[in-house]
Amino acid sequence: MSNIELICTYCHRVEVPNSKSLLCPSCRQVLIIKYPYQLIKERIDKKSFELGKGGIWKYFELLPIFDKSNIVSLGEGGTFLHRCKRLSDELKIKQILLKNETTNPTGAFTDRGVSVAISKAKEFGFYSVCCGTTGNIGASLAAYAAKAGLDCTIFIPSTVDLGKLYQMIAYGSKVEPAKDYDEARIKAERFAGSSFLIDPNNPYFLEGIKTTGYEICEQLGWRVPDKIIVPMGSGGHISMIWKAIKELFELGFLKDFNVELIGVQFEEAAPIATSFLNGKDYVEGTNRISKFLGDIGIKEPSLGSLAIRTLKESGGTAVILSYKEILEAMSLLAKTEGVFAEPAAASTIAGVKKLIERGSIDKDEEIVCVITGSGLKDPITARSFVGKVKSVDAIIRKMEEHKFTIKLGLTKMRILSLIHDSELHGYKIWKELSKRFNVNIKIPSVYQHLSELERAGLITRTHTERVLGKPSRWYYSLTAKGKRVLDTWKG
C-alpha cells in the first residue's frame, strides 16, 4: 500500500517510510504506520477480504508493501479460531475460543510480522537481515530469510529455548551468543545498517502481527468478542490487535469496537502489568528478567506505554501470573483441547482462570485467548510433564541416561547440585567436588564448566565478594532452567 506515513507513538512526529526510519529520529521511540483510510475504503469491502485467499496477504491493501512481487510468504496466518467446549465446561464459562497461532509455519505468531518485515527488506533492496531476540522472532526470521535468499545474523541470550535455537540453526542462519537480551539487542543494532534490523520495534513487523486482530473479527462474522486475552512481552502484539480493530471500525467493517483487551505477564518480570495496575501511563522498568518465559519476560518493553494505552482505551486490564499457574494452564489446555502451547502462550488460559476466580469475567461472556506459540519450542518445560506418567517416565529416563545426561556431563550435573544447595564461587565448588564426589580436576577446568553452564542458561552470576585482598570471586546460583534440568536428572 502506497501513501502511508510513519507516526511516532511518543512525540507524534510524521516520517515518510524509508530504509532508515525504523525509530523516531527525534526521540528514538517506536513508529506506527498510518494509512489513507478514506482511499482504501473506496477500493475494498468485506467481500474483497472474504473472497481472498487465506493467510495475512489477503489484507494486502492494509499492509505496507507497495509491490506484490516482493511478498515473501510461507503460508502464515489464516489460523484456526478454535471453539473450546471442553475447556469452557471445565472453567464453567459460556464460550472460550483460541486463536491458535501454533499452526503458523514456524509455530508462532511472529511469522506474521516477519513475513511483512522480510518482504519490506526485499522491497528496500537489502541482502541481509539481523535481530537480537529471546526466541520466536529469531526462529521466524531464520526461516523467512532462507525463503527470501537473504543472509541472516541472529544474536541470542544464553537463556534461549532450545527448540527455537534448533530452528535458527536448521534454517542456516548465523547465530551469535550474547550475555542477555539487552546485549543481544545492542549487538543487533550495531550490526544494522547494511543489514535490515527486524525486531519487535520494526514498524513493518508490527503491521504483520496486527493481522491477528483482523482475522479474529472476520472469523466472528465481522464483530468483536467481549474480551481478547494476549501475552505481553514488548507490548507490541496486544497494541497491534487493538490497532487492527480500530482500523476495521474506521473502514466500516465493524459496527462497534466494544472489546476489552487483557494483557498477561509472568510475575518474574511484569513491568507492563505492574505499571498499569499501579495507575501509570508509562512503563516503569524492572531489573528482573524472566529466565523461564523469555518472550514475555522483558525488563524494559519498548511498546509498554502503547500497551498500557491499549488496556485503558479498551477498558481492559492486566493479570500477573505465577509459574505454577502457567504450567497448570499449559497442561489443562493440552488435555482438554489438544493444543500444546509453550508456557508464554498458555499464560492466556491461566489469565482467564484467574479472572474467573476473581469474578472479573461474566460466565456468559465470549472470550478469545491468543495462543502465540507451540509447546515444542520449549522441550525442557515439556519434559517436566513426563514425571507424572511413571511408565513413560521410565522409558524416557533410560534414553536420557545415555543421551541427555552424558551430553551435559556428570561433572556439570554435580556442579549444578552443589549450587542448588547454596550460592558458591568457583574455588569452593572445586573443593566440594573433591570432598563430596571425589572428583579431582584442576581449578581452570571448574571455571570452564561454569562458563559453559552459564552460556547454556543453567546458572547465573549473583554477586562478587573480595576476601583478604584477593581477587573478587563471582558467586553462582541456578536459573529456573537449571533447576528444571537438575530435577529431571535427580528424578
For the stretch 222-263, pLDDT in tens is: 999 999 999 999 999 999 999 999 999 999 999 999 999 999
Q: How far is CA 479 from CA 155, 417, 423, 436, 476, in A?
A: 21, 12, 11, 23, 9
Mean pLDDT of the chain: 88
Question: Which of 19-28, 343-352, 378-387 has the least mean pLDDT?
Answer: 378-387
Using CB atoms within 10 Å of the CB of residue 359, give its burial: 0 to 12 exposed, 13 to 18 middle, 19+ buried: exposed
Q: What is the pLDDT of residues 178-188, one digit of tens each?
A: 888 888 889 99
Q: Would you say residue 288 has pLDDT above 70? A: no
User: For the segment 130-168, what is each residue's pLDDT rounded down to a tens digit?
Assistant: 999 878 999 999 999 999 999 999 998 877 877 888 899
Q: How many Cα neighbours within 13 Å face the side chain of 111?
A: 27
Query: What's the pLDDT at 284?
Result: 77
- CATH topology agreement for domains 5-107+205-380 and 408-490: no
Confidence of residue 404 (pLDDT cuts 50, 70, 90): very low
Q: What class, spelled out in words, does domain 5-107+205-380 have in CATH? A: alpha beta
Arithmetic mean of pLDDT, 371-390: 71
The reported pLDDT for the residue numbered 300 is: 81
Hey, where are the domains in the chain? Answer: 5-107+205-380, 110-201, 408-490
CATH architecture type of domain 110-201? 3-Layer(aba) Sandwich (3.40)
Q: Using pLDDT thresholds of 50, 70 and 90, give the confidence band for residue 271.
A: very high
Q: What is the CATH number of domain 408-490?
A: 1.10.10.10
Share of the chain above pLDDT 70, in %: 89
**pTM exceeds cut of 0.85:** no
Q: Residue 304: its pLDDT value, please?
A: 93
Residues 319 and 345: their CA atoms lie apart, in Å, by 14
Phi, psi of 479 (to 5 degrees): -85, 175
pLDDT of residue 402: 44
